[in-house]
């Protein structure tokens, strides 16, 4: 049984997220997804639109996901030690360096392969760009008088 771990904020789910998790699932038999806490999301990306418990429930309901867990504050490697994956799938846009992660995990007694997933060409270019599009739409006259 090969356990794959993926992680992310997953704020305003979009097809890029689904592609990432579907591709990660193909790497093994079980996919465990770590959903970033609100505090981690604020620190690494942006103030989340959707609270962590809602994001966790949404991710857990996705077809490729076998189990979703909430991330931990502090040492990000602690959750990896708990899950004990064989493979960590990182998104194409995540800032982690594969070799640095593998080396740190090896120091902690974990032999984990880190694989970077490919970019999804039909992606809406991420949550922040989706938010910008919504703001532009909302402030334009295209609403036809709706509020």
Domain architecture of the chain: domains with CATH: 3-143 (3.40.50.620)
pLDDT at 7 over 70: yes
What is the signed CA dihedral for 76, 110, 81, 40, rounded to 10 degrees?
10
pLDDT of 95 reads 87
| pLDDT of 86 higher than 70 | yes
The pLDDT assigned to 124 comes to 52
| Residue 124 token pair | 């809406």
Tokens (6 digits) for 51: 């609270």
- pTM value? 0.84
**pLDDT surpassing 60 at residue 97:** yes
Q: Which of 36-45, 88-97, 98-107 has the highest mean pLDDT?
A: 98-107
Q: Is there a contact between 83 and 5 (Cβ–Cβ < 8 Å)?
A: yes
Q: What is the mean pLDDT of the chain?
A: 88
pLDDT (mean) for 91-96: 87
Residue 145 reports pLDDT greater than 60: no
Please compute the mean of the pLDDT values over residues 95-111 and round it to a whole number: 93
In this predicted structure, what is the pLDDT of residue 93? Answer: 83
Residue 71 has pLDDT above 60, yes or no: yes
Please give the order of strands across the beta sheet that includes 87-90: 67-70, 30-35, 3-8, 87-90, 113-116
């Amino acid at each position: 049984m090969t356990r794959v771990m993926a992680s992310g904020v997953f704020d305003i789910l979009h097809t890029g997220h689904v592609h990432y998790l579907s591709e990660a699932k193909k790497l093994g038999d079980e996919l465990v997804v770590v959903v970033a806490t609100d505090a981690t999301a604020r620190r690494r990306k942006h103030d989340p639109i959707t609270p962590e418990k809602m994001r966790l429930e949404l991710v857990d309901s996705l077809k490729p996901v076998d189990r979703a867990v909430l991330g931990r504050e502090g040492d990000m490697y602690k959750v990896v030690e708990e899950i004990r994956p064989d493979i960590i799938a990182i998104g194409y846009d995540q800032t982690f360096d594969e070799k640095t992660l593998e080396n740190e995990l090896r120091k902690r007694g974990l032999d984990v392969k880190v694989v970077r997933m490919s970019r999804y060409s039909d992606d809406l270019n991420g949550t922040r760009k989706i938010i910008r599009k919504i703001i532009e739409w909302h402030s334009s006259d295209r609403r036809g008088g709706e509020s």
